[in-house]
Amino acid sequence: MASTNLGSVQRAADLIRAYITETPVLSSASISQEIGDDIKVFMKCECFQRTGSFKFRGALNAILSYEIENGPIKSVVTHSSGNHGKALALAARARGIVAHVVMPEDAPQVKKDAVRDAGGKVVLVPNNYEARKRAAKQIQEREGALLIHSSHDHRVMSGQGTLALEFLAQVARQGEALDVIVCPVGGGGLVAGVARAVEGLAAAGLLPGGGPVAVVGAEP
């Protein structure tokens, strides 16, 4: 059974490198001082990633890795209230395929427009999880589309995990080493991918500075 591990994250990094932005790492003296005198805080600014979030990494890797393993894709489908849908729409457009994005009908108009601007076909349904899930399943069956969940997909998690490889290397180039990575947690795909990448690097003795590095999830 396929899973997320260091190897899958490294393969994802190779696959998506030509499409993504290596987002900057910034440090904040004021935040560091507020936390403690011996603490230095680094921020991985994925707000500068294409589509404005880390979600593009996972969506893109899901499509590219599936194509390598199984051949061409006709279309993809997901249900999302915003960021994953926009990311999948842009990733699909980059590969010349159709993306169907099921969204709650009361989602902010700016989010609906963002998905459409990225090339996605928006399908509106009542704002409840079962309705979104059912609509996505119907499109999957009718269109022969590949269903790509925002977090419950090992390819998506591997793509999100590439952030950890990048972050650790960038901080190391500044002559520093991370000892804790704090990830926001929604569906859990980011923190899972980062944790598996860090776990694999630690097991192989490849953590910059020698480690250890803790991975912590924080619900926004």
Q: In this structure, are residues 59 and 156 in contact, taking their beta carbons and an 8 Å threshold?
A: yes
Q: In this structure, are residues 51 and 118 in contact, taking their beta carbons and an 8 Å threshold?
A: yes
Write the single-letter amino acid at 71.
G
Give catalytic status of residue 8 as yes or no: no
Q: Which residue out of 32, 40, 75, 81 is catalytically annotated?
A: 81
Beta strands in 87-220 (DSSP E): 98-104, 121-125, 146-147, 180-184, 214-218
Q: Which residue out of 8, 44, 55, 158 is catalytically annotated?
A: 55
**Residue 26: what are its φ and ψ, rounded to 5°?**
-115, 155
CA-closest candidate to residue 193, choices 95, 54, 72, 85: 54
Give catalytic status of residue 158 as yes or no: no
What is the distance in angstroms between the CA of the first residue and the CA of the last residue of the chain?
32
Radius of gyration of the chain (CA): 18
For the annotated catalytic residues, the residue numbers are: 55, 81
